[in-house]
Amino acid sequence: MSTPTYEITILDATGWTATICAEHIAKGFPTNTKWCIAGRSAAKLEALRQDLRAINPDRLEPDIYVIPQLDGEGLDPLVKNTKVLTTGIGPYHRHGTPVVEACARDGTHYLDFSTETAWIAQMIRDFHEVAKTSGAIIIPAISGSSAPSDLVAWLIACYLRKQGLPAASEIVCSGKLSMLGMQGSSLHTVLDVAETYGINGWLTSDTSVLLPDPKHVVKKSKGLLGHVYDQHLGHLTTSFVARGSESVVQRSAALNPKIYGQNFVYEEYSPATGLISALLMHIVTKLGILLLAVPWFRSFVRGKSFDRGSGPDRDESRKIESAEWKAASYVTGKNQWRWQNSATRGRWLTWRQF
């Protein structure tokens, strides 16, 4: 098998999130990294390359690959020629399946920014064994909603193992996103997912959908009307993104039992200032989910949102937007907390999105 020309390729590189990814590579990756930006419009790709040149004129410029169509014939020449492919071409349940299939078949490592849990579950069913055979590593959901959850859980689990402590039986997490506004493609994807798969997944909060063996999930109560009080994290309430994040972490744990241990449970919430605040946030979240099932409401939101590929002002976003995840782990129960000391050392994950 020939050595791929590119170390990394970004597909749909001119999209909102993929452009941020390309800028990050231009700023921070080794200057001799061989990479490629791919998409359907040669003019847009060239404009992006000029912007990247202005960011760092001393590095290797990315090659441009114009992909005629998203099928095996159009994808294979690109996929076979790169080690890692990152794709931002969404909604993934409409456009992403051929990309996953090509990477799984050709042995190319794959990353995406999907938040579409039902689609990810379908990709696991269809291509997990194919990827194992080819050696491809498929990592969906590296977005700002799921990746920090997965990282926090992994850091805590590894810390406990490194200290010679028992594996965590439960990790409770508080996740907070501060945004100037939701970019158009992400909001349209939420609406498209509701239209395609329905809202049942959000309402039932089933986090077993990505597991190799769903029978191994230990169900935990989410508390009365979504409110939970944790002695270390304070008041917590229902999180709209929790179902996807919990599903991702539970799959990571199932695939790494030596790190996480058996019967591991991950729970994620939004922080609240008190009981009343938690109840109101829970009601608003559930009401919003119910409204997603109504066609006229989806049409109304589409009409008020940013267009696909556009969003709030990037410079203003850098000043305001952030993401903060705080977590506590328990070994055999909530009376044996094994992460308390780390709280005073600032080991909770905090970072800016841009």
Alpha carbon of 226 to those of 196, 229, 247: distances in Å?
26, 10, 18
DSSP 326-345: EEEEESSSTTSBS-HHHHHT
Question: In whole numbers, what is the pLDDT of the chain averaged over residues?
Answer: 86
Give the pLDDT of residue 234. 93
Give the pLDDT of residue 233. 92
Instruction: Report whether pLDDT(354) > 50.
Output: no
Residue 173: phi and psi, rounded to 5, are: -130, 140
Task: Look at strands 138-139 and 109-112 and give their pairing.
Answer: parallel
Alpha carbon of 312 to those of 45, 263, 288, 299: distances in Å?
21, 42, 22, 20
Helices 242-255 and 117-134 pack at an angle, to 10 degrees, of 20
Give percent of the chain with pLDDT exceeding 70: 90
Task: Look at strands 234-237 and 265-271 and give their pairing.
Answer: antiparallel
- Exposure class string for 313-336: b at 16+ Cβ within 10 A, else e: eeeebeeebbbbbbbbbbbeeeee
80 with 105: CB under 8 angstroms? Answer: no
Tens of pLDDT along 290-309? 999 999 999 998 888 878 77
In one letter, which amino acid is 229? Y
Instruction: Report whether pLDDT(346) > 50.
Output: no
Question: Which pair of tokens denotes residue 341?
Answer: 């000391």
Give percent of the chain with pLDDT exceeding 90: 54
Fold of 6-139: Rossmann fold (3.40.50)
Instruction: Report whether pLDDT(164) > 90.
Output: no
Give the pLDDT of residue 1. 54
Question: Which pair of tokens denotes residue 19?
Answer: 């452009």
271 with 287: CB under 8 angstroms? Answer: no
**Of 225 and 107, which is predicted with more confidence?**
107
Instruction: Report whether pLDDT(168) > 60.
Output: yes
Give the pLDDT of residue 55. 94
Q: How many residues does the chain have?
A: 354
Give the pLDDT of residue 344. 27
Give the pLDDT of residue 217. 59
Instruction: Report whether pLDDT(321) > 70.
Output: yes
What is the domain partition of the chain in residue ranges? 6-139, 147-351
Alpha carbon of 257 to those of 3, 166, 168, 263: distances in Å?
34, 12, 11, 9
- In terms of phi and psi (left: phi > 0; alpha: psi -120 to 50; beta: otherwise), the region of 220 is beta
- Span of 230-244, 277-291, 330-344 with lowest mean pLDDT: 330-344
Give the pLDDT of residue 165. 83
Give the mean model confidence (pLDDT) for residues 88-109: 93
| Separation CA 299–CA 150 (nearest Å) | 33
- Span of 58-62, 127-131, 220-224, 260-264 with lowest mean pLDDT: 220-224
Instruction: Report whether pLDDT(338) > 70.
Output: no
pLDDT grade for 222, boundaries at 50, 70 and 90: low
Give the mean model confidence (pLDDT) for residues 332-343: 45
